[in-house]
Structure 1
């Protein structure tokens, strides 16, 4: 059991890109399907436009560039192709399990996984990564709130369920939409920016409101305790 003193009373983790290395997989499937619709979108533009956001909410930009209004059938096809790719290739972010284990000893059960993705996806990913046993029922999906990220709704819902004031929580996010949501909820936000095209640059996360940016999950315990 750690004897470190926590700087925050609760820790709220994003999932994609923070706990699991899913963004290159998911974004690759999405880009392929957008190209199939006639939009020759680059990898960079696909990441910048869609990472951290609920795809269902981005129908207008897809319609503008393809002439196609995505519907439930198209979204179901996307999710099926996405999930098959994730089951085949998903891995946890290096150091994520150690960081989550540390957090569980630091704040007890006052931590959660807070995602903009659909519940089926995040629960599947946590199970594949071996992280589901830490979070239990403390998984919150922006698809189940009135607005998903960058709105604060899902972080506010998580704080309410954990019986904490968002002001005493730290949010761990790797996207502009996620940082924006955490800040709007009133939490402190740590930006996670490891090297790789699927992650926002450190300066971009700072501009969105992250109070600091770190590049490896092994750094998180020290950041949470000030050690």
Structure 2
């Protein structure tokens, strides 16, 4: 069906969003911005924290500094190392997809690359991706701009139009669509309303569905 598959990381391959956003809410509250967990998730899911610099400064009344960001990263990473797990079914799904597209897969995230590599390694997924890990932090624009998906497709030598992007947020789906890829929306909880009004080709709710869709040709 596709020549390559490009995965988002957080919320697609690893169940990191509640952990990361829990820590972010803590440090923002400590800085003077009182947020509920739901509010924090709504504002920051699918985005790089540094891209919300202006709003953080406005809400906290304090400058957004590299020291503050470094302290957040350190606390976040400690919590991830203690608690992170793969999304249910993700390892099996990635294994099948990797085989079906002859290894032409990549991880394209809006998070910093060190975090993405750490997470993939923790849950046993890094061997499938190797060096094919891309971060919006390393490019002129992060999601919802298409840069990270365009970079991943170019590295694989595949036309973006022949790529499948697997995303769990509207921000990420917008990036995949802007790159010219087919986008499937992953929504492990709820009904996929995050993708309402967006031309995503499919919404699925469990990684077993992705595995089955790619494993099917093996039976033929």
Structure 1 length-normalised TM: 0.92
Q: Secondary structure at the match of 1:68?
A: coil
Q: SS of the counterpart of 1:160?
A: helix
Deviation digits for residues 29-87 of structure 1 (CA, Å, limit 9, x no counterpart): 00011111111111111111111111111111112211122111111000000000000
Q: Distance in 2 between matches of 1:224 and 1:134?
A: 16
Pairwise CA distance, 1:203: 1.8
Question: SS where residue 197 of structure 2 aligns?
Answer: helix
CA displacement 1:169-197 (0-9 Å, x = unmatched) = 1100001111110010000110111127x
Q: Does 1:125 align with 2:119?
A: yes
How many angstroms does 1:160 deviate by? Answer: 0.5
> Which one of 94, 115, 118 corresponds to residue 100 of structure 1?
94
Cα distance change on mapping 1:209 and 1:40 into 2, 3 Å: farther
| Equivalent residues of 2:139, 2:147 under 8 A apart | yes
Give the corresponding residue for 2:151: 157
Equivalence for 1:209: 199
- In structure 2, which of residues 157, 182, 191 is the aligned counterpart of residue 188 of structure 1? 182
Q: Which residue of 1 aligns with 2:50?
A: 56
Whether 1:27 and 2:17 are equivalent positions in the alignment is no
Change in Cα spacing, 1:207 to 1:192, as seen in structure 2 (3 Å) is same
SS at match of 2:9: coil
In angstroms, what is the RMSD of aligned CA positions?
A: 1.4
Report the CA distance between 1:105 and its aligned residue. 1.0
Cα deviation for residue 226 of structure 1 reads: 7.0
**Partners of 2:102 and 2:52 in 1: how far apart?**
37
Q: Distance in 2 between matches of 1:74 and 1:127?
A: 26
Q: Are 2:63 and 1:69 equivalent residues in the alignment?
A: yes
Q: Please name the residue that 2:209 is paired with.
A: 219
Count of paired positions: 217
Which residue of structure 2 lines up, in the alignment, with residue 90 of structure 1? 84
2-side partners of 1:26 and 1:70: how far apart? 18
TM-score, normalised with respect to structure 2: 0.95
1:63 is paired with a residue whose SS is helix
CA deviation string 1:135-193 (max 9, x = no partner): 11111111101001111000000010000111011100001111110010000110111
For residues 222 and 78 of structure 1, what CA distance do their matches in structure 2 show?
A: 38
SS at match of 1:207: coil
